[in-house]
Amino acid sequence: MISRLPLDQQLESLRAVLSRNDVLTEVLTRTATLDLPGWYVTAGCLFQTVWNVVTDRPPTSGIKDYDVFYFDGSDLSWEAEDAVIKAGREVFADLPADVEIRNEARVHLWYEDKFGVACPPYESTEAAIDSFAATTCCLGVRAETDGRWRVYAPHGLSDVFNLVVRPNPVLAPRSVYETKAARWQEQWPELTVLDWPSTCITRIPAGG
């Protein structure tokens, strides 16, 4: 099993699996041309590609969109983020997928209105990825100029390859986790969804 390989071989396997999604590889290549600070392609387009390959589905099956996170704390205005979003629309215009670009330095400005809990300001894109509702989602990839991939996976890759959805009760409320998990399990019934901890205090860990 891939999840039992040494970590360096897991990373090689991850790249091999993700590379089967041609849309994803194009998003990675084209995002690099935008020169965004601290960027990663992240979230569902990554772990869902793995789920598809592991379960013998087409690599793009069920993937709603492709998320690009970046971090620019120098300008927190909506106008600055919107300019990046519009530049991205031109770069990704001919791809058969929606690509959503977000400045994670601005998340604290709108998160509470959308999800009902306050979000302290993030200090990096990595800190934003750390706060996804499931640890399985905490994965980011970017293409470096030398062709290497930088992979951020604070909880490792075993759950991703083993089709395990594990809660990450640091920010998103239980309802968000359970709604997402139910939707994923409907699309990928092979998933094992773990329950939200019964004695859980929603918080952000020290340091982000």
3-state secondary structure labels for all residues of 69-108: EECCCCCCCHHHHHHHHHHHHHHCCCCCCEEEEEEHHHHH
Spatial distance between the Cα atoms of 139 and 41, rounded to a whole number of angstroms = 9
Contacts of residue 9, Cβ cutoff 8 Å, sequence gap at least 6: none
Pair 135, 167: CB distance under 8 Å: yes
**Beta-sheet pairing, 140-143 with 65-70:** unpaired
Helix 78-91 with 22-33: angle, nearest 10 deg: 130
Tens digits of pLDDT across the chain (208 residues): 665 666 667 888 999 999 999 999 999 999 999 999 999 999 999 999 999 999 999 999 999 999 999 999 999 999 999 999 999 999 999 999 999 999 999 999 999 998 888 999 999 999 999 999 999 999 999 998 888 899 999 999 999 999 999 999 999 899 999 999 999 999 999 999 999 998 654 444 433 3
Helix 22-33 with 44-54: angle, nearest 10 deg: 160
| Distance separating the N- and C-terminal Cα atoms of the chain | 33
